[in-house]
Amino acid sequence: MRDDIRKNFASDNVTPACPAVMQAIADANVGNVPSYGHDTLSLTLNQRFGEVFGAEVAVFPVATGTATNSLALSAMVPPYGAVLCDQSAHINTEEGGAPEFFTQGAKLIGIPSPEGRMDPQALPPVLQHNREKGVLAPPFAALSLTQATEWGTTYPCKTITQLTSIAHEYGLTVHMDGSRLGNAIAFLDCTPAETTWQAGIDVLSFGGTKAGAMAAEAIIFFLNERTRPMVASMAHRIKRSGHSWSKQRFLAAQLLALIDNDVWLENCRHANIMCQRLLHGLHKHPAAHLPFATESNEIFVVLPEPQLDSLREEGYQFYTYPTPQGVPGKLVRFVTSFYTRPEDVDALLTSLVS
């Protein structure tokens, strides 16, 4: 059974914490220090993330991605408002209604798109219709994009700029769910700035856990005239939702360990390379059908069901999804991570392709 620890491709959140994070936690575990973010590590977050993004930022560390997304949206959208997102967005389908809870009942309106990437052309009619409904429909107050998307694709920076321009024109602010931001940046070979605030993103959910942390994410406000008024409420929102750690040094330590020496980007780059290795192997599979481009560390592939049963018997773990109509087989997701080794991918491929 011990080998199974290398056969879990279900998600990048099944991983341990990476060594740099574990070391940082141990280093932080010294002495009494002020609680609730008044420790010296927490106090450097704004500056250090500001350097990473080349921008003035306000950073709020929390332990989970769901909290990060939901807290961000709660500062962007009034309870009577609405969030526009892709139909497949994590906030819309995987977070148990957390955005509705934190925003106090705002409505998420998801629009369909073929690969999890919203089409800029799809936005104006939806925004216009909403505006014309007046009080009958909750007014859109935020657009939320996911980078990389739920289907393993990424938004080109230019597309993000188009989307945020339209959103801003209609008075919305723009959130990015960056649970796998590092993977997107590694794929696009761009800077953190280029795919976020330089493309018009106002508020970012910075993903740490999937990139190697134990439990650490950050809500990052890129300071501008739209976001400055939001920042003041965040400490209250975080406390009120029980997401303020008394021993916050341990959240800060994880995040700082990830951005020191680009550990997060290195981890994500490795995960992407493992994913491409898997992709190349799958191309040799006679029956594999890949419905989406593979642009991060997730690969979606339709495989024959008997083969999936065999994999499971061997100890492999992975998620399956409703399969596109008319395609024989079952849609499967394999996720790689910083912890995936080439030999782990090769072993999986051997089971699959041989």
**Which parts of 310-339 interact with a copy of itself (CB under 8 A)?**
317, 322, 337, 339
Q: Which stretch binds a copy of itself (CB under 8 A): 22-30, 113-121, 167-175, 265-273?
A: 22-30
Residue 289 is given by DSSP the state: B
Contacts of 120 by beta carbon, 8 Å cutoff, 6+ apart: 159, 162, 163, 166
Range 50-69, binding a copy of itself (CB under 8 A): 62-68
Q: From residue 125, give the alpha-carbon distance in Å to each of 119, 141, 167, 282.
A: 12, 16, 12, 40
Burial class (CB within 10 angstroms; exposed 0-12, middle 13-18, buried 19+) of 125: exposed
Among 43, 47, 51, 79, binds a copy of itself (CB under 8 A): 79
To a copy of itself, the closest distance from the beta carbon of 77 in angstroms equals 11
To a copy of itself, the closest distance from the beta carbon of 92 in angstroms equals 9
* Amino acid (one-letter) located at 40: T
Among 17, 89, 118, 278, binds a copy of itself (CB under 8 A): 17
23 binds a copy of itself (CB under 8 A): no
Q: With H, G, I as helix, E, B as strand and everything else as coil, classify residue 303.
A: strand
Q: Which stretch binds a copy of itself (CB under 8 A): 164-172, 230-238, 261-269, 271-279?
A: 230-238
Pairing relationship of beta strands 217-222 and 57-62 according to DSSP bridges: antiparallel
147 binds a copy of itself (CB under 8 A): no
Range 84-123, binding a copy of itself (CB under 8 A): 93-98, 100-108
Q: With H, G, I as helix, E, B as strand and everything else as coil, classify residue 146.
A: strand
Instruction: Outline where the chain has alpha helix (H).
Output: 19-28, 40-43, 45-53, 65-76, 90-93, 98-102, 123-133, 157-169, 181-188, 228-240, 249-259, 263-283, 305-313, 342-353
Cα–Cα distance measured from residue 72 to residue 196, given in angstroms and rounded to the nearest whole number: 15
- Angle at alpha carbon of residue 249, lines to 246 and 251, rounded to 5°: 90
304 binds a copy of itself (CB under 8 A): no
Cβ proximity to a copy of itself: between 199 and 220 the closer is 220
10 binds a copy of itself (CB under 8 A): yes
Give the count of residues interacting with a copy of itself (CB under 8 A): 84
Cβ proximity to a copy of itself: between 144 and 162 the closer is 144
Cβ proximity to a copy of itself: between 161 and 209 the closer is 209
* Amino acid (one-letter) located at 286: P
Range 258-287, binding a copy of itself (CB under 8 A): none
Pairing relationship of beta strands 82-86 and 203-206 according to DSSP bridges: unpaired
The site string for a copy of itself over 189-208 (x = CB under 8 A, - otherwise) reads: --------------------
Cβ proximity to a copy of itself: between 32 and 283 the closer is 32
Residue 137 is given by DSSP the state: S
Cα–Cα distance measured from residue 226 to residue 201, given in angstroms and rounded to the nearest whole number: 11
DSSP string, 166-180: HHHHTT-EEEEEETT
45 binds a copy of itself (CB under 8 A): no
Q: Which stretch binds a copy of itself (CB under 8 A): 10-18, 44-52, 220-228, 325-333?
A: 10-18
Cβ proximity to a copy of itself: between 2 and 283 the closer is 2
229 binds a copy of itself (CB under 8 A): no
Number of C-beta neighbours around residue 230 at 10 A: 20
154 binds a copy of itself (CB under 8 A): no
297 binds a copy of itself (CB under 8 A): no
Among 131, 158, 228, 239, binds a copy of itself (CB under 8 A): 239
142 binds a copy of itself (CB under 8 A): no
